[in-house]
Amino acid sequence: MINKKALVCLTIILFSGCASPTANVAENYAISSDSSNGLLVGSIEYRGPLSGYRVYYRGLYNDQRGYFEAGVGMMLIPIPPKSDFSDKKGSLQVVELPPGKYEIANWAVQSGYANVGQTQPFSINFIIEPGKATYIGSFVFSATDRMGLTVTGVQVDFTESYESDSKVLRQRYPGLASTDIFMGVEPGYVKKDIGGNSSVYWDMPSVYLPIY
């Protein structure tokens, strides 16, 4: 039987190798009813040290896949990204996608050389319709273990935060200020601890010592 550590390693390797970060639309973006694509709106919030908090998605009947990220996992220049929110740390996701059914079934955290992942399966489905904007909810990462500024354990909750997210959306994207947002999650919905307890593995670089 595969152990939890192996599951974490396999999950992160498979998804990081096949997926790429998905960029938000431009701030002057506008969607019309005759658009061939649809718009996803959601958010990632994190409560803990700066790290790269990721949520992976894939199309169930198309080849679309990627991930959304708040924060950054490894910084060459120690300038943390600015939060999209004034009262919490995180990022708003506003992404154009082809219409279809999608699934979010994986999350991960990169914190320096530590890689944190889920130990249990979960599935959150949503539908993107052409010419429509759909709100899918918010993923909240709370650090449960750490070594200094390195995150080694998290709990991830899925919640409806439409009021907070839509307020930022209309401030940052004036072209979407009057756009109707369709709810892809029930009002007041909260699902705790998606993916179960976290597990961590370390991806330390190899060190070679010269032999004289």
Domains and CATH numbers, the chain: 4-75+84-198 (2.60.40.3540)
pTM for this structure? 0.87
Q: What phi-psi label fits residue 13: left (phi over 0), alpha (psi between -120 and 50 degrees) or beta? A: alpha
Residue pair 170/179 in contact by the 8 Å Cβ criterion: no
Burial grade of 85 (CB within 10 A; 0-12, 13-18, 19 or more) = middle
Residues contacting residue 22 through CB under 8 Å, at least 6 positions apart: 57, 66, 67, 68, 93, 95
pLDDT (average), residues 115-135: 97
- Which residues have C-beta within 8 Å of that of residue 110, sequence separation ≥ 6? 51, 52, 54, 73, 74, 116
99-106 mean pLDDT: 97
Which segment of 17-26, 140-149, 154-163 scores lowest on mean pLDDT? 17-26
Whether the per-residue pLDDT at 4 is higher than 70: the answer is no
Range name among 20-24, 28-32, 81-85, 121-125 with the lowest pLDDT average: 20-24
